[in-house]
């Protein structure tokens, strides 16, 4: 009886092995992973491009692709030839014309915090960062009260060595009093940006790239355009105090938030300078348990 059951079971397995290959689940999984990765990359690409001037060109290319497919279907050979050649050259044009956007995209990929999952020797700088934030807020509050123009840039993952080299090296501890003195009118370092790195005043009177955003308000001057420009090519944070109105503004990822109160500025700095370290807390806990 048991032998008959075993034979029948073996026959069923043989049938399944022929008509339903055991590799099919693996193939399905592989296809799902493939489609998921491509979908994610496409979504991130659209998300990256949509907020830049490249989005208009992308929409134009989509229109050309649609017209090219229609011309092939309608056998319009001359038009199809011209459009196909145009599409081939569009790739080279994208690299040349939109080099800043491509650079920003690659930098965003490079800034992905993969190292946080493998590094265990990173020192906890939360206390120093909290102190730095408070000193920045105190300085901006006073500069705003006196309507003293200021531009403060806080470096994050993207290194700003080229920008730092355009100014005067300080390598000083952070203090509100020193920041205020740096931006006091008619002093040697007041004109330009102050760069902070690793909770240090790294360099002052630095030159920043200006944004070429055509939608920027005409009432914003060079200081605000510089604050936006540096955040378009890096992940840094820029804080601006207007010398005309005394209002505080905050720039990040090419976006500008204006008319901030000291409390809102503090919250914004805490969010982008402290909360990003939350991933490393789990690593510190794991390290403690492993000892």
Pick the range with the lowest mean pLDDT from 8-17, 57-66, 110-119. Answer: 110-119
Side-chain half-sphere CA neighbours of 92 within 13 A: 4
Residues with Cβ within 8 Å of residue 70, at least 6 apart in sequence: none
Count of residues making up the chain: 291
Q: What pLDDT, on the 0 to 100 scale, is given for residue 121?
A: 40
What is the pLDDT of the chain when averaged over all its residues? 80
Domains of the chain and CATH, by start: 14-110 (no CATH), 126-278 (3.40.1700.10)
Q: What pLDDT, on the 0 to 100 scale, is given for residue 251?
A: 94
Per the model's pLDDT, the better-predicted residue between 7 and 65 turns out to be 65
Per the model's pLDDT, the better-predicted residue between 84 and 276 turns out to be 84
DSSP H/E element including 201: strand 200-206
Q: What pLDDT, on the 0 to 100 scale, is given for residue 118?
A: 43
Between CA 173 and CA 152 the distance in angstroms is 15
pLDDT > 70 fraction of the chain, expressed in percent and rounded: 72
Q: What pLDDT, on the 0 to 100 scale, is given for residue 259?
A: 92
Look at residue 164 and tell me whether its pLDDT is greater than 60. yes
166 in helix, strand or coil?
Answer: coil
Q: What pLDDT, on the 0 to 100 scale, is given for residue 107?
A: 65
Pick the range with the lowest mean pLDDT from 127-131, 237-241, 260-264, 282-286. Answer: 282-286
Alpha helices by DSSP H, listed for the chain, are: 2-19, 24-50, 54-73, 77-97, 99-110, 126-145, 161-164, 176-182, 222-232, 262-273, 278-290
């Amino acid at each position: 009886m048991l032998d008959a059951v075993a034979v029948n079971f073996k026959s069923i397995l043989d049938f399944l092995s022929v008509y339903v290959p055991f590799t099919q689940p693996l193939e399905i999984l592989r296809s799902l992973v493939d489609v998921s990765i491509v979908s994610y990359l496409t979504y991130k690409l659209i998300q990256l491009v949509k907020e830049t001037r490249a989005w208009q060109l992308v929409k134009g290319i989509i229109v050309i692709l649609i017209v090219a497919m229609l011309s092939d279907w309608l056998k319009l050979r001359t038009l199809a030839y011209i459009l196909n050649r145009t599409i081939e050259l569009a790739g080279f044009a994208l690299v040349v014309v939109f080099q800043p956007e491509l650079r920003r995209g690659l930098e965003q990929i490079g800034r992905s915090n993969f190292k946080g999952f493998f590094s265990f020797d990173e020192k906890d700088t939360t206390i120093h960062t909290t102190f730095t934030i408070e000193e920045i807020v105190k300085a901006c509050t006073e500069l705003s009260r006196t309507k003293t123009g200021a531009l403060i840039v806080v470096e994050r993952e993207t290194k700003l060595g080229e920008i730092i080299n355009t100014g005067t090296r300080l390598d000083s501890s952070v203090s509100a009093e020193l920041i205020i003195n740096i931006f006091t009118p008619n002093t040697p370092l007041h004109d330009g940006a102050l760069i902070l790195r690793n909770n240090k005043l790294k360099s002052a009177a630095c030159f920043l790239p200006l944004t070429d955003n055509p939608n920027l308000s005409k009432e914003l001057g060079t200081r605000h355009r510089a604050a936006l420009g540096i955040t378009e090519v890096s992940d840094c944070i820029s804080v601006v105090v207007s010398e005309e109105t005394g209002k505080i503004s905050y720039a990040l990822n090419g976006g500008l938030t204006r008319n901030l109160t000291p409390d809102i500025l503090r919250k914004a700095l805490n969010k982008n300078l402290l909360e990003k370290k939350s991933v490393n807390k789990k690593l510190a806990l794991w390290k403690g348990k492993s000892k």
